[in-house]
C-alpha cells in the first residue's frame, strides 16, 4: 500500500502553539460529521490540549454530545478509576470525559481481556462509524500507542509487553511503584484505519524517532514509519523535535 500524499509536517515555536491547532482539528471533524468517533492520546504531549478541551466542554463551546470519545491504549489491570491508568489520566485532565464515560459516550480500551473481547472493542468503534480523527504521540523508540519496535503492522487491538525505554519513561508516573509491564493497545492496523491522523512530538528526546518516522525505512523497526502508508497525516513538531529533519523533507513547512 502506498499513501497518495506524504504527511504534512508543521514546525511550531513551542508545544503551546499546538493547542489551538488541535482544538481546530477537533472542531472541524465534529462540524463535518454526525457524532464522529474521536480517539485521544495520552502522555505529557497532550496534557495542554486535554485541559483546554476540558474547559471548552465545560463551557459548552464544544458540546460533549457532539462526538464519541475513545483512546489508544491502557495498562493491563488498570480500571478507569486507578491512578496511572490512561482512562484515569484522560478524566483527570479533561473532567467532562468522566460523564461521557458514565453515559457510554466514551469507549474505554479494555484493561484486560482475551482476543475476542479486543475484537469486540474494535467492532464497537466500527459500529459507531469508525475513528474519524486519531490523535497520536510518539515514543523516543518510535512507538505509536504501545506498538513497540518489532510489532507487525497487521495487528489490531492486542495485549503487549512494554519496551524498557517505555517503562523508564513511565517510571515517575507510577512511583514509588514499579511501572507496569503489559498493556492493551490499538494496533498499527487499527490506527491506520482512522480517517485522519494527527501526531504531535515535542522535545529533543523525540528528534531521532521523528527522523526515523519520516525518513527511515517503512518497517516495524520504527512503528511510526507506518504512518507514511496513510494518505491523511498531519504532524506537529516543536523545533527541538524537528531538529534532525532534512530541510528538503517532502511535505515540510
Q: Interface residues with ligand PGA (CB under 6 A)?
A: 43-45, 137-139
Angstrom CA distances, 123 to 4, 118, 136, 174, stand at: 27, 9, 21, 32
Strand, helix or coil at 18?
helix
> Smallest gap, in angstroms, from Cβ of residue 109 to ligand PGA?
14
> Smallest gap, in angstroms, from Cβ of residue 69 to ligand PGA?
18
- Residue with Cβ nearer ligand PGA (66 or 180): 180
Catalogue the active-site residues. Answer: 73, 141, 143, 148
Q: In this structure, what DSSP letter does residue 40 have?
A: E
Angle between helices 47-59 and 18-32 (to 10 degrees): 50
Separation of alpha carbons 253 and 250, rounded Å: 9
- Starting from the edge strand earliest in sequence, which strands make up the sheet with 73-75, in order? 73-75, 182-185, 158-161
> Smallest gap, in angstroms, from Cβ of residue 246 to ligand PGA?
23
> Smallest gap, in angstroms, from Cβ of residue 154 to ligand PGA?
21
> Smallest gap, in angstroms, from Cβ of residue 166 to ligand PGA?
7
Separation of alpha carbons 209 and 100, rounded Å: 34
- Residue with Cβ nearer ligand PGA (54 or 137): 137
- Residue with Cβ nearer ligand PGA (45 or 190): 45
Closest to 74 measured CA to CA, from 90, 89, 88, 85: 85
Separation of alpha carbons 156 and 189, rounded Å: 5
160, 138 Cβ separation under 8 angstroms: no
Cis peptide before 176 (omega within 30 of 0): yes
* Residue with the shortest CB distance to ligand PGA: 43
> Smallest gap, in angstroms, from Cβ of residue 138 to ligand PGA?
6
Separation of alpha carbons 114 and 43, rounded Å: 26
- Residue with Cβ nearer ligand PGA (66 or 235): 235
Closest to 245 measured CA to CA, from 203, 212, 211, 204: 211
- Residue with Cβ nearer ligand PGA (64 or 192): 192
- Residue with Cβ nearer ligand PGA (44 or 130): 44
Amino acid at each position: 500500500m502506498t499513501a497518495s500524499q506524504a504527511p504534512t509536517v508543521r514546525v511550531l515555536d513551542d508545544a503551546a502553539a499546538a493547542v489551538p491547532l488541535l482544538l481546530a482539528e477537533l472542531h472541524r471533524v465534529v462540524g463535518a460529521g454526525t457524532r464522529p468517533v474521536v480517539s485521544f492520546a495520552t502522555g505529557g504531549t497532550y496534557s495542554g490540549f486535554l485541559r483546554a478541551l476540558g474547559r471548552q466542554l465545560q463551557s459548552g463551546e464544544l458540546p460533549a454530545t457532539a462526538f464519541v470519545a475513545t483512546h489508544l491504549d491502557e495498562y493491563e489491570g488498570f480500571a478507569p478509576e486507578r491512578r496511572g491508568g490512561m482512562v484515569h489520566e484522560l478524566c483527570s485532565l479533561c473532567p467532562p470525559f468522566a460523564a461521557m464515560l458514565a453515559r457510554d459516550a466514551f469507549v474505554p480500551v479494555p484493561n484486560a481481556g482475551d482476543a475476542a473481547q479486543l475484537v469486540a472493542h474494535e467492532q464497537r468503534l466500527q459500529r459507531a462509524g469508525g475513528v474519524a480523527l486519531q490523535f497520536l504521540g510518539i515514543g523516543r523508540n518510535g512507538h505509536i500507542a504501545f506498538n513497540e519496535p518489532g510489532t507487525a503492522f497487521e495487528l489490531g487491538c492486542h495485549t503487549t509487553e512494554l519496551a524498557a525505554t517505555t517503562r523508564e519513561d513511565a517510571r515517575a508516573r507510577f512511583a514509588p511503584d514499579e511501572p507496569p509491564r503489559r498493556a492493551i493497545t490499538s494496533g498499527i492496523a487499527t490506527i491506520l484505519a482512522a480517517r485522519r491522523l494527527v501526531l504531535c512530538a515535542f522535545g529533543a528526546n523525540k528528534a531521532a524517532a521523528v527522523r526515523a518516522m519520516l525518513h527511515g525505512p517503512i518497517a516495524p523497526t520504527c512503528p511510526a514509519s507506518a504512518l507514511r502508508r496513510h494518505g491523511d497525516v498531519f504532524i506537529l513538531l516543536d523545533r527541538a523535535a524537528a531538529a534532525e529533519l532534512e530541510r528538503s523533507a517532502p511535505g515540510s513547512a
